[in-house]
Structure 1
Amino acid sequence: MSATDGMRADWATKDFYKELGVQKDATGDEIKKAYRKLARANHPDSHPGDTAKHEKFKAVAEAYDVVGDAEKRTKYDEMRSLYGNGGGFRGGFGGGFGGGGAGGHGAPGGFDINDLLRERAGGGGGFGDMFGDIFGGGGGRARTQQPRPQKGADVETTATISFGDALDGVTISLRLTSDAPCPDCSGTGGKPGTKPHICRECEGAGYVVAGVGGAFSMNETCPGCGGRQLVYDEKCPTCHGSGRGMSARSIQARIPAGVKDGQKIRVRGKGAAGEAGGPNGDLFVTVKVSPHRLFARKGDNLTLDVPVSFDEAALGAEIKVPTLSGAPVTLKIPAGTPNGRTFRVRGRGARRADGTNGDLLATVEVQVPAVLDDAARAAVEAYREATAGKPLRANLFEAES
């Protein structure tokens, strides 16, 4: 919050230096010292039930909030100087601004300061413009600010793609439904064709000042206008005054090569529309990857289970294995290859972020035939006789030393 936010026109009628018991030319340290002394002396915790002390504490806190801040103090001094150091402010201007007491407002023979400020909100100029110079463009709380640009909301969706598209990258079409300005009232919240008026609750500022204790205050969005600064007596029948609606649209989103299952992709500027000229929000796409019939993924590598026969594993062989994209590759199986051994084929895996590829990991699965014909059975029985003197499980029964 900037130092000028929350400035109020009634401060022109208050002598904050006197409230703190310091001179107008007091240094920042002198002002701070005076505030701390008075705050300790009048703190509500030390004087429960003492209304006078409580009021004094609030007045001291308000004074320090202004003159204890260098930028606010400068604005306050300019305002006090312009209107005669606050002399004779008793609900209206006296002396130098005398006149016929137009409309009966304020003290007899003067003008009510709030009426002068409201001239600005009503487009009348005059003294309202003078306050605009002090407050940086617009009559304190009564000024109507341009709504601040706000970034649109982020939107989330889920997309399912094939295993191959996840490796190669793909552009997908998405149908999105998101929050957007009401199409009938263009986000104003008012009935089309009706005219708005300045919000009476915040007097067109779009915010209200809320105290949070001590010398601190903060701005909160006005609950009456929702920060729009203007209100309509008749609400938009479509959005019921909220100014919001739902927007359905189709967009194209690029899913990069190598995306993993469950990974979230950010597409900038494809979320909900911004407000008051603000940028669009972003779209976050959670990618679901469909499983493949043969291949699986382990990091940047692809995995493949390769069935081999007993004789190929025992005697060695050269076999062809598929790749996900491109021609098959030849895999050399050495003689005596055990079941479960994994072979690495370089560069046939998933695409990495740096443009290189992972590897293909091919794992041997030795197949045992469920049914043998006579010739195969005779061959296996001959192999059993040839290896009968070399029991495989002898070491299972050796005693531990």
Structure 2
Amino acid sequence: MRDYYEILGVSRGCDEAALKSSFRKLAMEHHPDRNGGCEEAEGRFKEINEAYSILSDPQKRARYDQFGHAGVNGGGGGGPGSGQFHDVNDIFNEVFGDVFGDMFGGRRQRGGPARGQDLRYDLEISLEQAYAGSEVEIVVPASIQCEACDGSGAKPGTSPTVCGTCGGAGRVRASQGFFSVERACPRCGGSGQLILDPCVECRGHGQLRKERTLQVRIPAGVDDGARIRLAGEGDAGARGGPRGDLYIFLSVKPHELFDRDGLDLLCTVPVPMTVAALGGDIEAPCLMGGENCDGACKIEVKVPEGSQTGRTVRLKGRGMPSLRSRERGDLIVELFVETPTRLSARQKELMRELSDLCGEQQHPKSASFIGKAKRFWEEVTGV
């Protein structure tokens, strides 16, 4: 088992400041969140935490200096699985505080201002809105600072008093054998203050719940699952703390004509059998205007002669815009050859005449299939 001083890179006679400085540097370097979940970094991170949990405690450090690992294993924390994670969390709160505050949702100073909570709002938009971008009005229920008491929670003209139990720290510490456990003050709930005469408007909370109307700009090209952050539009902070943020999660409604594949738009368009056979022009829906596309969002598509169902025609630059560049996707039109129905007697007569005139050259796939099927039957039946 490695020496704890060696793990932290300090000498045995180092003071508390040097110990904390080395731990802070190493823990930030090997923190799993900064190393993409690397198992090696996670193992090193746990090793660093274990070493600091022992050496930062004067009693544990003295036992370790005298007896080595035997002096701390089992009696005051130590190896993996010994319940050290409570100590690790306490160490992190103490040592890193403001460094990791934003990463874990904000950390308030004891008894001081607290950052408001972040809010989530799920917003469903149409494909047209995602294509062109738009501005949407939303109504968000959020906490706001009480104007009557300026967020203090105390009746106007009065002020909160310092909690006598924790002395304003908001935390109390209790010793249990070799361990010292810190928890929120039960009397003031961790605020460090007591409100003896609460505000009538907010009933001592310092905040009120209210619906707020916001304008949200949807950028062109957003995709399903995109997230928009509105800084400072979340819940109000406690005791004058900053507001949290509002995160808007977008979902794009399914469209009755288009499917989306990245920046490309896919659309299946029926084509009359005669147009598919002879070639010609058809109209397809389009989300963008411009050349060869009128205000009704129709675009002309040239159908090659002899087109079959499933054939695609790609229209460059007619797809979705990109969020991060001027690039645009394509509109991919898939042709679906439609067989005519409810034919008149004359139409049926003409169709029979056409059928009699058409041979293998006009139906190459049918001829190929019949040949393969014939060989299959011969192999099976032996005839």
1:398 to 368, 375, 378: 375
Q: Which of 233, 236, 244 matches 1:270?
A: 233
The CA deviation at 1:191 is: 3.8
Map of 1:2-401 to 2, 5 A cutoff? 32-33=61-62, 36-37=65-66, 147-211=111-175, 214=178, 217=180, 219-276=182-239, 278-326=241-289, 327=293, 328-353=298-323, 354-387=325-358, 392=367, 393-394=369-370, 395-399=372-376
Distance 1:161 1:373 in 2: 46
Q: For residues 357 and 320 of structure 1, what CA distance do their matches in structure 2 show?
A: 21
SS in 2 for 1:398: helix
Tell me by how many angstroms 1:146 deviates.
8.5
Q: Return the alpha-carbon distance in structure 1 between the equivalents of residues 236 and 125 of structure 2.
A: 27
TM-score (norm 1): 0.59
Deviation at 1:283, TM superposition (A): 1.2
Q: 1:43 to 1:279 in 2, by over 3 A?
A: closer
Q: Give the conservation status (yes or no) of the 8 Å contact 2:322–2:328.
A: yes
Q: Which amino acid aligns with 1:325?
A: M
Amino acid at match of 2:279: G
Could you give the per-residue CA deviations for residues 219-273 of structure 1, whole angstroms, max 9, x where no partner exists? Answer: 5432322333221223445544444431321111111111223433222222223
Task: Kindly state the Cα deviation for residue 34 of structure 1 after the two structures are TM-superposed.
Answer: 5.7
Task: Quote the Cα distance in structure 2 between the aligned partners of 1:211 and 1:356.
Answer: 64
2:191 and 2:284 mapped to 1: Cα distance?
66
Query: Which deviations, in whole Å up to 9, do the C-alpha atoms of 1:362-392 show, x marking residues without a partner?
Result: 0001111111123321221011112367765
Q: Distance in 2 between matches of 1:295 and 1:380?
A: 34
**1:40, CA displacement in angstroms?**
9.4
- Cα distance in 2 for partners of 1:40, 1:359 equals 66
State the AA in 2 paired with 1:365. F
Mapped to 1, the partners of 2:159 and 2:270 lie a distance apart of 78
Q: 2:143 and 2:199 mapped to 1: Cα distance?
A: 17
Change (3 A) 1:29 1:188: closer
> When the two structures are superposed, what TM-score results if normalisation uses the length of structure 2?
0.61
- The alignment's C-alpha RMSD in Å is 3.6
Give 3-state SS (helix, strand or coil) of 1:156's partner: strand
Count matched residues.
Answer: 277
Change in Cα spacing, 1:207 to 1:379, as seen in structure 2 (3 Å) is same
* Percent of paired sites with the same residue: 34
Q: How far is the alpha carbon of 1:202 from its aligned partner?
A: 0.3
Maintained 8 Å contact 1:210/1:219: yes
Unaligned runs of 5+ in 1: 5-27, 47-144
Q: What secondary structure sits across from 2:334 in the alignment?
A: strand
Shift of 1:324: 0.9
1:198–1:295 distance in 2 versus 1, CA, 3 Å: same
1:187 is displaced (CA, Å) by 3.3
1:27-53 Cα distance to aligned partner (Å, 9 max, x none): x9999456654899998978xxxxxxx
Any conservation in 2 of the 1:261–1:289 contact (CA below 8 Å)? yes
Larger radius of gyration: 1
| Structure 1 residues 38 and 293: CA distance shift in structure 2, 3 A | closer
Alpha-carbon displacement from aligned partner over 1:319-369 (angstroms, at most 9, x marks no partner): 333311211443222221111111111111111122311110100011111
Deviations 1:286-315 (A, max 9, x none): 223334443232221111111111121112
Distance 1:163 1:179 in 2: 32
Secondary structure of the structure 1 residue equivalent to 2:244 = coil
Q: CA deviation at 1:206?
A: 2.5
Q: Aligned partners of 2:334, 2:169: CA distance in 1, in Å?
A: 70
CA contact (8 A) 1:194 1:232 kept: no
